[in-house]
Structure 1
Amino acid sequence: MRPNNHTSTVPPLLADTAAIDAYLHGYPDVFAAARQPPVDLAAWQALGEDAGEPAYATAQRLGLPLVRLDGVEIAPEAIDLVPSQMARRLRAVPLRIVGGLVAVAMEDPGMPDAQVLLNFLSRERVVPLVASPMQIRDAIARRYDQAEDQAMARQLGIDPKGGTDAPDEREAHRLALEKPVVHMVHALIADAVARRASDIHLRPGEDAADVLYRIDDELLPVRRLSRALLPAVVSRIKVLASMNLAEHRRPQDGRATFQVDDTRDVDLRISVLPAVFGESVVVRLLDTAEGLWSLDQLGLTDADRQRLDDAMARSHGMFLATGPTGCGKSTTLYAMLLELRKQRINVLTIEDPVEFHIADIQQMQVNRAAGFTFATAMRNFLRHDPDVIMVGEIRDRETADIALESALTGHLLLSTLHTNTAATTVTRLLDLGVEPYLLRASLLAVMSQRLVRLTCPQCRVVEPVDAHVRETLEVGTDEVFHVGQGCHQCEGLGVFRRQAVYELMVVSPRIRRLIVADADADALHSAAIDEGMVPITQAAIAMARSGTISLAEAWRVRAE
């Protein structure tokens, strides 16, 4: 989507207002850009932290000039051409109007239909320029967010330049019910759901509060909120979560349901913490459409899918999903439950909390205040005629002992544990005090896993790889890997969606003989490999070789 026929491996740089005006005066002369001083990558990056390589690569690819927004006087009449919502969506800032042309700085002018939409909104013809993502965000915050926030503050009857002093309960309740505040919070949640975010962060700072979305495990800044509006927005979120509006000094947790459309609800898990510059908020979005996967979506090989099916077909025994926090353990267990519920069996779960509600399965939630813990729930489960029991997590010896007892007495038990590899799961259970002979008799299989971020297929480029990484991962110097450089589809992150990478250790007779009081994790690991297990690190390298993930991602999730 180039505005002229000028091509160059070195894009020109428009560093100030005069350069932009001169460029527009010469447009569409093919030499208009050539008359501006060119800038190579090193000189561009030397301009500051916000002058990143993706912006330079985009300018090269599209044959467009680069622009530095910190040296440009943005015309008010240009800003009025594009509504704030569209500017945020397209990540575009109108800069100057000259002779029927409007210069628009964009993060990615090549995104589908971007210029068509801008030309539809503006009477003037759009001339795209490329700016860094950080400068685009800062310009949107200055020109759109501040103006909107000041207007909203006046509408709410509060000082636009006020601080974040906590309002009293009555005032907080009034602000939480005001239409502009309700609309803002609703719009933020709806936008986060539409962009596949897993969390919304409201992070208060000295001058403003930043709103960020976590998308594919990356925190992406989306808006800057005035300090004056922070108490109103936090109060609205507290009302949604049925929290105490008068409490500002202690952490609070709550939950709510957000209706996306007539047929789809998203569960919200909300955490509020007192911070130095105001209350910090994180809203976790539990969207069944994004978070509830089937076994076919986990990325299992045919051989491992057969091994997992064999484990689920057993009438009794224990299956464990392990790994660090946020590695998708619960996702794996939910996928197994979706498969198991197809049988005519009774499935009971105890979770903390229940993340996704599944039809035909009896799900319970831990309530420590009432004394309803994992251990007490499982004791009662055994009298409730279960065929399959799912325990959210084995945290202590008491829970582990009851889990083993359940697995030995005619129940298939699924649970999670925090260990880095499948083999160390055995030693971890032994450290909790589990008797080796009970573990030998009950453990069926262990899946240790991580979530890897898939390389965006729309912006894949060859990945530069450090020699140390190649040597450590034992990949050849001539092997080529790919990484995403950032585009409209992937929100500029270079990654799009995630998938599990895993190692599946099935407890064979040989491995069972190694489960003793002083079990050696290395010996268990070697035996599992001999029995057909592919270690996490090797599985990740295989994905990198196929181009599914970058080698840097394989390096990040390696298990040693």
Structure 2
Amino acid sequence: MGHASDPRPEASLRPQEGECGMEASLQTPALTAIPGGRRRLGALLVADGLVTQHQIEAALARQQLDRRRLGEVLVREGLVSEQDLVDALAEQLRLEVADLDQVYFTPEILGLLPRDFMLNRRVLPLSLEEDGTLTLAMTDPLDIVALDEVRLRTKRNVRAAICTETAFEEACATFFNTRGKLRELGDESDAPVADEAALAHDASIIEIVDSLISDAVSMKASDIHVEPHAGGLHVRCRIDGVLHKLREYPSEVQAGIVSRIKIMGNMDIAERRLPQDGRTSFETAQGDAVDLRLASIPTLHGENISIRILEVSPLPPTLDSLGLTGASLERFEEAVRRPEGGILICGPTGCGKSTTLYTTLELVKSPESKIYTVEDPIERKLEGVMQSEVKSAIGLDFASLLRTLLRSDPDMIMVGEIRDAETARMAAEAAITGHLVFSTLHTRDAASTVRRLVEIGLPPYLVAAAFTCVVSQRLVRRLCPQCRKRRTVRAAAWEKLGLGEAPRRQMRVYDAVGCTRCFGTGYLGRVGLYEVLTLDEELGEMIERNAPVRELREAARAKGVESVRQDGVRKVLDGETSLSELTRVVA
């Protein structure tokens, strides 16, 4: 250990039975996967006699409902203690358990990391080995973002030991006097509104907010939800379409955190009764610049803050990297090569419509063409594209902007969303007068998009004449290639999932497992499921006579058009996603 001359140990690390001391720990910030795989947590707890198989199955069912980790469910239900859970996780992950009751933190050790960073990321430095390796106590040793940041901050190799949340809190209360600090902030939070801005500028509050936003960006989250509850403030972030818990803060700091975020977004901190919107730019601890869109909503226990992280990562280089492949890709590319016509991208909120549109515009733009966009808001900045943003407060809506752009000599126009009859009619008329028009609609599939346009107010003949291609899409999480596990599914089991007739008697599929590379989720990124329907002459005639949606779907299948579900089945069989993920999204 780093300070052998002191009679008190810096940390007591209890190697798990069958391990070989510290050498059995995971050695790198990335927490490399365990060779040969690892036993599932539930199996370990059952083998140790702590729970029954029936209790595990019941807990797994509850886990699906509230999206918590299995261990959290078991502790919350009182089935296992925190220490039992930590011991089992240590055995599963081949880590050591840090006994923080025996810890002596030297000034040299504590000085390696900022106090607020340690409190926010739930890490404590325990010891420095002779080779310079830093050992950390962590409540979540799968927090790869924290491990990477410690490595970057200290310029050292790091390795993790696991500890209970209670032990961590007690150690922090002893050595950092966090209880006193929280009381201090809590007293300030009860101050008049005139003093609330000062609380929001408290250094501790600023670091808390900056840290949680930086971490969410590092984890490639699309949204952050700051949620008030009776017992304090919960922070969750949406990664690959699924919400994950990021932080929990006591009620003493709730007002400061909310006020800080509102100040960042130029919102009125004195107004807590009405919803507000804001926007800001932010630079993360890693130096990445992002744009944030903020919204506050009054709720029972205080203001809920939603933060949309506008995309900063590079666009996919090709359409097939989005998941658009085969005949679907060919039909779509043929449509975008035409000089005129309307192309619609359809699906629910958050299904990747904007990414598909932006990627398409990036690929079709050229020095010989003029491209305008009408957006609400502008989510990405595209070089060489004239982007305009709707401003409803001053009467600048989709229709009025589109009307102006049509007088500005465009070759291509992207309308962020068709929301009303006027916008729909103007987009359709632009598409039949020599312009290539892209837009989006919130519909279930390609065939129902046609019906939706008629319901909005477009006559069927105009729909048939103006629109050449309709794309319906969804997003599913992509399996982590490092830890996915193969299994065989029989036809009978397949058909019980509601996915239609099984393609074979037996299918090889992959399940999500979870490792450090994918933050224990089993998934890494997302891939699109696509249906691409070309509105040819036959379908145009069906639209003009107002054929039912069912007939349009049947005609599309007869032409070999894959549905979103069929594309998903193919991606399951190719090992890109799992059966459970497909049924979650398209069931």
The answer on 1:50 being equivalent to 2:50 is no
Give per-residue Cα distances to partners, 1:487-520, cap 9 Å, x unaligned: 2221222211111111100112221221124322
Under a length normalisation based on structure 2, what TM-score does the superposition of the two structures give? 0.75
The answer on 1:355 being equivalent to 2:379 is yes
* Partners of 2:568 and 2:582 within 8 A in 1: yes
Residues 44 and 51 (structure 1), Cα distance of their counterparts in 2 relative to 1, 3 Å cut: farther
Q: Distance in 1 between matches of 2:406 and 2:282?
A: 35
Match of 1:535 among 552, 563, 572: 563
Q: Distance in 1 between matches of 2:293 and 2:145?
A: 34
How much does 1:113 deviate? 12
Task: For 1:94-493, list aligned pairs within 5 A.
Answer: 144=172, 150=179, 152-153=181-182, 157-159=184-186, 167-260=191-284, 264-289=288-313, 294-462=318-486, 470-471=495-496, 472-473=498-499, 474-475=501-502, 478-493=506-521
What one-letter code is carried by the residue in structure 1 that aligns with 2:185?
A: I
Instruction: Give the unaligned 5+ runs of structure 1.
Output: 1-19, 30-35, 95-101
* Partners of 1:91 and 1:137 within 8 A in 2: no
Q: Distance in 2 between matches of 1:539 and 1:55?
A: 41
How much does 1:90 deviate? 8.6
* Partners of 1:90 and 1:114 within 8 A in 2: no
How much does 1:178 deviate? 2.5
Under a length normalisation based on structure 1, what TM-score does the superposition of the two structures give? 0.79
How much does 1:373 deviate? 1.0
* Partners of 2:488 and 2:506 within 8 A in 1: no
Aligned to 2:531: 503
Q: Distance in 1 between matches of 2:435 and 2:46?
A: 73
What one-letter code is carried by the residue in structure 2 that aligns with 1:75?
A: D
Q: Distance in 2 between matches of 1:88 and 1:404?
A: 52
* Partners of 2:315 and 2:359 within 8 A in 1: no
How much does 1:433 deviate? 2.2
Residues 106 and 434 (structure 1), Cα distance of their counterparts in 2 relative to 1, 3 Å cut: same
SS in 1 for 2:388: strand
* Partners of 1:390 and 1:415 within 8 A in 2: yes
How much does 1:531 deviate? 2.4
The answer on 1:77 being equivalent to 2:98 is no
* Partners of 2:122 and 2:168 within 8 A in 1: no
How much does 1:558 deviate? 2.3
SS in 1 for 2:277: strand
* Partners of 1:459 and 1:487 within 8 A in 2: yes
What one-letter code is carried by the residue in structure 2 that aligns with 1:158?
A: L
Give per-residue Cα distances to partners, 1:301-349, cap 9 Å, x unaligned: 1433332222122221100000011101111111111112224211111
SS in 1 for 2:52: helix
Q: Distance in 1 between matches of 2:141 and 2:487?
A: 20
* 106-115 or 255-264, larger mean C-alpha shift: 106-115
* Partners of 1:149 and 1:225 within 8 A in 2: no
Q: Distance in 1 between matches of 2:208 and 2:378?
A: 28
How much does 1:145 deviate? 9.1
* Partners of 1:256 and 1:269 within 8 A in 2: yes
Count of aligned positions: 508
Q: Distance in 1 between matches of 2:286 and 2:489?
A: 48
Give per-residue Cα distances to partners, 1:52-102, cap 9 Å, x unaligned: 79999976765679x8xxxx98516278878674687697998xxxxxxx9
* Partners of 1:242 and 1:254 within 8 A in 2: yes
Aligned to 2:581: 553
Residues 294 and 288 (structure 1), Cα distance of their counterparts in 2 relative to 1, 3 Å cut: farther
SS in 1 for 2:547: coil
Q: Distance in 1 between matches of 2:396 and 2:173?
A: 46
SS in 2 for 1:430: helix
* Partners of 1:316 and 1:407 within 8 A in 2: yes
What one-letter code is carried by the residue in structure 2 that aligns with 1:558?
A: V
**% identity of equivalent residues:** 34
How much does 1:292 deviate? 6.8
* Partners of 1:55 and 1:107 within 8 A in 2: no
SS in 2 for 1:213: strand
* Partners of 2:16 and 2:91 within 8 A in 1: no
* Partners of 2:46 and 2:52 within 8 A in 1: no
Q: Distance in 2 between matches of 1:432 and 1:253?
A: 28
Give per-residue Cα distances to partners, 1:504-549, cap 9 Å, x unaligned: 0011222122112432222212222232321111110111111110
Give the number of the structure with larger relative contact order, counting CA–CA contacts within 8 Å between residues 6 or more apart.
2
Residues 482 and 529 (structure 1), Cα distance of their counterparts in 2 relative to 1, 3 Å cut: same
The answer on 1:494 being equivalent to 2:522 is yes
Residues 141 and 391 (structure 1), Cα distance of their counterparts in 2 relative to 1, 3 Å cut: farther
Aligned to 1:5: none
How much does 1:298 deviate? 1.4
How much does 1:284 deviate? 1.1
